[in-house]
Amino acid sequence: MIRPFAYVAGTGRGLPAARMTNHDFSAIGIETSHEWIVERTGISERRIARDGESTCSMAADAARKAMERAGVGAGELDTIILSTATPDRLLPATAVDVQAALGASRAAAFDLSAACSGWLYGLTVGEGMLMTGAAKTVLVVGAEKMSAIVDWQDRATCVLFGDGAGAVVLRASKTARRVNDAKEAKGILSTFMRSDGQLAELLWRPGGGASLPFTEAMLTDRSHFVKMAGREVFKHAVRMMADAADRALDGARLTGADVDLMIPHQANVRIIEATAKHANIPMSKVFVNVDRYGNTSSASIPIALDEAIEAGRIKDGSTVLLCAFGAGFTWGSMVVRF
Ligand SMILES: CC(C)(COP(=O)(O)OP(=O)(O)OC[C@H]1O[C@@H](n2cnc3c(N)ncnc32)[C@H](O)[C@@H]1OP(=O)(O)O)[C@@H](O)C(=O)NCCC(=O)NCCS
């Protein structure tokens, strides 16, 4: 079969300037240590949004850079997909704030909610729109202000997360590729998405939604903040990331040996190492920045992708494996040839 393909035309990231190191937790009364956090997670510091920085402002920052690199003006965007678990307000979608901030006058804009896997889900939706001809230029952003929803009194979760945004401009090729020829093909070669809502309560925000609207009691029970069963999440994450890696590689008819760079969701370096080992990919071919940003949820892969390109670790012809998992649970993966 011969058809056009979707490709990444430009990437960008938008990060708050303020750094919070592991040592800074003692100043806010959290009993923890740099050693504990590094040993269990690999995280040394994270960025925290301050002074009016919002999910929208970080998203727009990342988007402008991606558009500049792609050579795409705001008026050329057909669709803006914003993956976020931390919309600036519940109605309307934060994507329309991004649309307004960019002045993308022709664009449809909507939020996508699939937690840490959301940006990969968004990329798959964007690819589908390009392949059906419903859009020619799609902006896919992952933006998260996790500092607004974590419980700053719960040391088991607040040390893990950080704020930031990453974006890509996705376009359809003018030429066609032979879909069966995995060694020659370019652009998005395979995608995989999955979910298991039976596990929703392992990582969730019980209160504050329509079924349990915010009440004053939540100021005490703190049920409007993120709750997580850390050990259980860890076990599922290792299994789901391994599954995700296998599925995208199978879909592209490739193996770990064909991968030039793996960019996994950046939640925990131990989960990343287990995934790489399963996929038979040495850590020298795995991009890791969780030490500097913590878990930025759906922003983590696009931030890492942008840094990897900037660092020269992705070149023309590189085969890149993306793998994600998150609350839901949701998980997914993609093989992209640049
Ligand atoms: C959260 C996580 C780092 C905790 O590590 P763990 O080895 O499972 O630790 P546990 O939760 O069993 O806790 C062990 C002890 O450390 C303590 N602890 C928890 N957080 C701590 C912190 N920040 N500093 C110091 N001690 C801490 C616990 O209270 C517990 O103490 P206890 O044995 O006296 O009860 C780990 O489970 C994890 O990474 N899970 C996956 C999380 C994730 O990736 N979520 C995002 C998904 S997208």
Active site (annotated) includes residue 265: yes
Q: What pLDDT is attached to residue 186? A: 85
155 lines ligand 1 (CB under 6 A): yes
HSE-CB for 15 with a 13 A CA cutoff:
22
Q: pLDDT tens digits for 257-273?
A: 999 999 999 999 999 99
Predicted TM-score (pTM) above 0.95: yes
What is the average pLDDT across 34-44?
98
Q: What pLDDT is attached to residue 283? A: 98
Closest CA to 43 of 123, 119, 155, 143: 155
The catalytic residue among 236, 265, 268, 323 is: 265
What is the average pLDDT across 67-81?
98
Q: What pLDDT is attached to residue 185? A: 77
234 lines ligand 1 (CB under 6 A): yes
Query: Going by CA atoms, what residue is nearest to atom 4 of ligand 1?
Result: 230
Pocket test for ligand 1, best of 116, 161, 231, 239 (most atoms within 8 A of CB): 231
174 pLDDT higher than 80: no
Q: What pLDDT is attached to residue 178? A: 64
What is the bridge-based pairing of β-strands 108-112 and 319-326? Answer: unpaired
Amino acid type, 48: I
Share of the chain above pLDDT 90, in %: 94
Q: What pLDDT is attached to residue 183? A: 67
What is the average pLDDT across 101-126?
98
Averaged pLDDT of the chain: 96
Could you give the CA distance from residue 117 to residue 67 in angstroms, rounded to a whole number? 23
Q: pLDDT tens digits for 284-307?
A: 999 999 999 999 999 999 999 999
Q: What pLDDT is attached to residue 175? A: 75
Tokens of residue 16, six digits: 């708050």
Closest CA to 113 of 84, 151, 155: 84
Q: pLDDT tens digits for 2-25?
A: 778 899 999 999 999 999 999 999
The number of residues in the chain equals 338
Q: What pLDDT is attached to residue 182? A: 62
Q: What pLDDT is attached to residue 120? A: 98
79 pLDDT higher than 70: yes
74 pLDDT higher than 90: yes
Active site (annotated) includes residue 158: no
Q: What contacts 247, CB < 8 A, 6 or more positions away?
A: 190, 192, 194, 333
pLDDT band at 181 (very low <50, low <70, confident <90, very high): low
Tokens of residue 336, six digits: 């992209």
Instruction: Give 243's strand partners.
Output: none
172 pLDDT higher than 70: yes
pLDDT band at 180 (very low <50, low <70, confident <90, very high): low
Q: What pLDDT is attached to residue 140? A: 98
Q: What pLDDT is attached to residue 66? A: 98
290 lines ligand 1 (CB under 6 A): no
The catalytic residue among 22, 56, 116, 268 is: 116
Closest CA to 72 of 188, 169, 143: 169
DSSP string, 227-295: EE-HHHHHHHHHHHHHHHHHHHHHHTT--GGG-SEEEE--S-HHHHHHHHHHTT--GGGB---HHHH-B
